[in-house]
Amino acid sequence: MTISLDGKVAVITGAASGIGRASVERFVEAGAKVLAADIDAEGGRLLEDAFPGQVAFHRCDVMSEDDIAVTMEIASQRFGGLDILFNNAGAGGSPTPIEEMTGALWDHSQDLLLRSVALGMRYAIPYMKARGGGAIVNTASVAALQAGMGPIAYSAAKAGVLQLTKCGAAELSKYNIRVNAICPGFILTNIFTPGEMPTQIKTVVKTTMRGAAHLAQPVARPGEADDIAQAALYLASPASGFVTGTHLVVDGGMTVGPRHSWDVEEQARRLKEREKLWAGAAELTKTDA
């Protein structure tokens, strides 16, 4: 199926790296004009150079309500309207466990990962109404679905994104605006090597992760940013015209079930343990007799 975004205008947040950057490429390839929003001005300029006339960069910190509002306005001014918003910017948030959490750390994670999505929707709506409809795609995470997939503040924020998506879809259906979310699994991007990490350590972390990423889920290859970009393209396009208020899990099967349901090595290890247990029980039975 060929997906077309011909004549559409999209805002993508967190566009300078990883999932956002891959989505800019997919959206442009499908014919859209893209306002790339990010705090990384250098990455933004590289995008503009790579896609002259099709991508414009605007520095936007999604922690700032004003920045978000202005971003939507600039997209509309620059390209004549707004049809698609991919609320994707994010980072790991606070790694602090709940027993040590502070209000400030909690608020920072929620503002970055949840409030930003709500306000993105809020400020995109007038422009989408003016176009007679639109599509909003929000990046959540498998951490929204299960414990143990990310820090607690991050996971709670991403779970909030899913409910925001559902309620937003309900509220906005009257304007012909669809709202959906994506739950990525383990995707090799810069999120695991934040800016403050020394370069040498970044290189080691990236190499180690790429070497092990095929072991993380049933689909035995690393999850790539483009896997999520393709899902975003589908949810942003008319191809998903009958889809709203839901989330697409793109995780190579990471959440299909417990590890032993799909990992043959784990199955073999559990079988050995069971055999040992049976042998011990048999010994006991002999002794009792």
Ligand X SMILES: NC(=O)c1ccc[n+]([C@@H]2O[C@H](COP(=O)([O-])OP(=O)(O)OC[C@H]3O[C@@H](n4cnc5c(N)ncnc54)[C@H](O)[C@@H]3O)[C@@H](O)[C@H]2O)c1
Please identify every residue annotated as catalytic: 154
Residue type, 193: T
Which position among 71, 110, 141, 217 is part of the footprint of ligand X (CB under 6 A)?
141
According to the binding rule CB under 6 A, does residue 23 interact with ligand X?
A: no
According to the binding rule CB under 6 A, does residue 180 interact with ligand X?
A: no
According to the binding rule CB under 6 A, does residue 109 interact with ligand X?
A: no
Which position among 134, 184, 222, 252 is part of the footprint of ligand X (CB under 6 A)?
184
Which position among 71, 109, 139, 155 is part of the footprint of ligand X (CB under 6 A)?
139
Residue type, 284: L
- Whole-number Cα distances in Å, 195 to 10, 140, 155, 250, 285: 27, 22, 22, 26, 61
> What's the min distance (Å) between Cβ of 265 and ligand X?
23
Nearer CB in complex with ligand X: 32/140: 140
Interface segment toward ligand X; rule CB under 6 A; list 84-92, 128-136, 171-179, 253-261: 84-92
**For ligand X, what does the binding mask look like between residues 34 and 73, x meaning CB under 6 A?**
----xxx--x----------------xxxx----------
According to the binding rule CB under 6 A, does residue 110 interact with ligand X?
A: no
Q: Look at strands 84-87 and 55-59 and give their pairing.
A: unpaired
Burial track 148-163 (b if 16+ CB lie within 10 A, e otherwise): ebbbbbbbbbbbbbbe
According to the binding rule CB under 6 A, does residue 120 interact with ligand X?
A: no
> What's the min distance (Å) between Cβ of 86 and ligand X?
10
Structure tokens at 16: 């300078």
Please, what is the angle between helix 18-29 and helix 225-236, to 10°? 50
According to the binding rule CB under 6 A, does residue 227 interact with ligand X?
A: no
Nearer CB in complex with ligand X: 29/61: 61
According to the binding rule CB under 6 A, does residue 252 interact with ligand X?
A: no
According to the binding rule CB under 6 A, does residue 155 interact with ligand X?
A: no
Interface segment toward ligand X; rule CB under 6 A; list 17-25, 163-171, 270-278, 281-289: 17-25
Which position among 94, 109, 180, 190 is part of the footprint of ligand X (CB under 6 A)?
190
According to the binding rule CB under 6 A, does residue 231 interact with ligand X?
A: no
CB atoms under 10 Å from CB of 11, counted, come to 30
According to the binding rule CB under 6 A, does residue 25 interact with ligand X?
A: no
Nearest to 31 by CA among 56, 1, 3: 3
- By CB under 6 A, name the binding residues for ligand X: 13-14, 16-20, 38-40, 43, 60-63, 88-91, 112, 139, 141, 184, 186-187, 189-191, 225
